[in-house]
Amino acid sequence: MAKQILLTGGAGYIGSNTALELLNAGYEVVIVDNFCNSDEKLDERLAGIPVYKADVTKYGELAEVFGKYDFHAVIHFAALKAVGVSVREPLEYYANNVGGLLTTLRLMQAHGVNRIVYSSSATVYDPAGPLPYTETSPVGNANSPYGQTKVICEQIIRDYTASNPGFTAHLLRYFNPIKGAVKEKPRGVPNNLYPYIQQVHEGLREKLTVNGNDYPTRDGTCVRDYIDCTKIAQSHIAPLEAETPGLYIKNIGTGNGTTVLELIRQYEQENNCVIPYEIGPRRAGDIPECYCAG
Ligand code: NAD
Ligand code: WQD
């Protein structure tokens, strides 16, 4: 019988791409989402997957789903992720992201589900730490409440894993996802660079504003580690099969740093188009460079 995998937040961008990869690999996928940042209508390639509208912070709602299946693992994507909003609404971010993880872990404990794959982020690394980031680089001093929720959630999982010898936890620290078989469909004005470029290409926005070109980088714009979301999706499969219980931490990036201007050029070449842009001021909270050792 196929292994049943619960994807919380599975209707979102990375969750949908992962669902597709898991189906291709022969897993049975179940999705829970409250659709606060996704459409109830999933990508057509995901038709047939059971999808439950439930809030992972609400024990009763999530308990109903746990009661119906015998999950081999949970992949916990569900979270709010807008860095800027988290600065204005920190309580909502802590309640949703930390509360949602706690409820999920409590239900896993109650049902004897002993494996979690957690969507962590490059944002957990101390921005003052040396580059490239490796899994042993210093963590903390996140520059937003959103980032801090990821630091706290990692610690909760670390503590729970230490208390439960049969438990397996994989913390996947994603760098900057782009592309993917299922495209990101952000609501409103995109916060992130890649979907903004896509919307300029599609004619939904007139031009891109590059947030500063006076950083100490090769062309003055910020450097990030952009990774294809299909690769991110595939990175969830090995953790579902790891045999030895314990805590595993992995960076999910390419090891290559790309500037904003380089990403625009790459997009233009790949799509045979021109992306109009202007140079604007720096964006508060941005660090000049962020990439992993690969
Ligand atoms: P997304 O917003 O597309 O997906 C998250 C999904 O979780 C959405 O469908 C949303 O409706 C759902 N959700 C949020 N709160 C919920 C709740 N209380 N109950 C049920 N569902 C809830 O975001 P994404 O880019 O797919 O990110 C997935 C995960 O990866 C998140 O944990 C995010 O923090 C993390 N991450 C994302 C990035 C990135 O740049 N996209 C980078 C690093 C880490
Ligand atoms: C990349 C570069 C912008 C938009 C964020 C989160 C991080 C992680 C990934 C979840 C920066 C510049 C952007 C625009 C621009 N998410 N930019 N014009 O900030 O590296 O990471 O998403 O964990 O936690 O902080 O990604 O795509 O927002 O920005 O010039 O319209 O593009 O200033 O230099 P970031 P991003």
CA of 192 to the centre of ligand 2 (A): 5
Q: Which atom belonging to ligand 2 lies closest to the Cα atom of 287?
A: 34
What was the pLDDT predicted at 198?
A: 97
What was the pLDDT predicted at 154?
A: 98
CA of 117 to the centre of ligand 1 (A): 14
**CB within 8 Å of 292: residues ≥ 6 apart:** 122, 132, 133, 134, 173, 175, 225, 251, 253, 254, 255
SS3 at position 45: helix
CA of 114 to the centre of ligand 2 (A): 34
Contact at 8 Å (CB) between 73 and 91? Answer: no
Instruction: List ligand 1's pocket residues with C-beta within 6 A.
Output: 9, 11-15, 33-38, 55-57, 77-81, 96, 100, 119, 121, 174, 176-177
Q: Which two tokens mark 12?
A: 């979102």
Q: Which two tokens mark 284?
A: 């508060």
**CB within 8 Å of 17: residues ≥ 6 apart:** 180, 181, 182, 229, 230, 232, 233
Nearest to 115 by CA among 213, 243, 19, 226: 243
pLDDT confidence bin for 143, thresholds 50/70/90 = confident
Q: Whose CA is nearest to atom 4 of ligand 1?
A: 12
Whether cis (ω within 30° of 0) applies to the bond prior to 132 is yes
Coarse DSSP helix, strand, coil percentages of the chain, rounded to the nearest 5 percent: 35, 20, 45
What was the pLDDT predicted at 261?
A: 98
Rounded CA gap, 11 and 13, in Å? 7
Q: Whose CA is nearest to atom 31 of ligand 2?
A: 193
Mean pLDDT of the chain: 97
261, 266, 269, 271 alpha-carbon torsion, rounded to 10°: -110
What was the pLDDT predicted at 185?
A: 86
pLDDT of 113 higher than 90: yes
pLDDT of 55 higher than 90: yes
Nearest to 135 by CA among 175, 176, 173, 177: 173
pLDDT confidence bin for 56, thresholds 50/70/90 = very high
Q: Whose CA is nearest to atom 19 of ligand 1?
A: 55
Q: Whose CA is nearest to atom 30 of ligand 1?
A: 119
- What percent of the chain has pLDDT above 70? 100
What was the pLDDT predicted at 186?
A: 85
Q: Which two tokens mark 86?
A: 């988290």
What is the rounded average pLDDT of the residues 219-227? Answer: 98
CA of 287 to the centre of ligand 1 (A): 22
Q: Which two tokens mark 150?
A: 């990821």
What is the rounded average pLDDT of the residues 130-157? Answer: 96
What was the pLDDT predicted at 251?
A: 98
What was the pLDDT predicted at 250?
A: 98
pLDDT tens digits along 8-51: 999 999 999 999 999 999 999 999 999 999 999 999 999 999 99
What is the rounded average pLDDT of the residues 110-127? Answer: 98
What was the pLDDT predicted at 220?
A: 98
Q: Is the pTM of this model over 0.85?
A: yes
What was the pLDDT predicted at 187?
A: 86
Ligand nearest to the CA of 277: 2
